[in-house]
Amino acid sequence: MWSKKINLPNIGPVLFEKSQRAKHINISVKPPSAIRVAIPKGISFERAKKFAQTKEIWIKRTLNKVQQHLNSSIKLNPVKKNNAKIFLLRRLEEIAQEHGFIYNKATVRNQKTRWGSCSGKNNLSLNIQLINLPHELIDYVIFHELVHTKVKNHSPVFWKKLDEFVGNAKSLNKELKQYILCELSPYGT
């Protein structure tokens, strides 16, 4: 069995999942109130449950922070898919050509947890919900993913390169966090 939901006293339902990538027991909290415990190979569900129970205060504090963030965040409207896809792909192509970026292919999808992504093969994916953001933030996300075609991490080199195009990447990133993508499924995908 790779996953199971366990109801922890004073916390509520928690998803415990075996993970090939986890090196340590890892607890995460995602909007609106989903708690997930990643369990590395060789650790039992029982041991992970005991660990999670020792982190009750942290979990409750984090749930509270997530709820406060949700309450103060800007909710986005539903999107007309065709218009949004055309606009976002056109804008991506304009920026890439103007600034000499090369990417493999691009898709526009309704992602639950990300504004965009860049694969190791330079395939870009943009979230259709971007269409609801101010143009400055749309361009920020597009530049963010295009810079990942050159720098595959979030190191200081990445942020410096991104600043060359947007000028104030960290403040735009902070502004972007005010927006909530959509109603999230409990554990994302």
Domains in the chain (CATH in brackets) are: 3-72 (no CATH), 81-180 (3.30.2010.10)
* Nearest CA-CA partner of 182 in 62, 30, 58, 51: 30
According to the model, what pLDDT value does residue 184 have? 33
CB 21 within 8 A of CB 39: no
Query: What pLDDT sits at residue 136?
Result: 96
**For the chain, which residues score pLDDT lower than 70?**
1, 32, 69, 72-78, 181-189
State how far the Cα of 165 lies from the Cα of 186, in Å rounded to an integer: 35
Q: How far is CA 157 from CA 124, 150, 152, 161, 165, in A?
A: 20, 10, 10, 6, 13
How high is the pLDDT of residue 179?
Answer: 84
Question: pLDDT at position 170, please?
Answer: 93
Specify the pLDDT at position 22.
86
Closest among 168, 25, 109 to 117, alpha carbons compared = 109
pLDDT of residue 73: 64
Crossing angle for the helix pair 156-166 and 169-176, to the nearest 10 degrees = 90
Q: pLDDT tens digits for 8-19?
A: 888 889 999 998
Helix 156-166 to helix 135-147 angle, to the nearest 10 degrees? 140
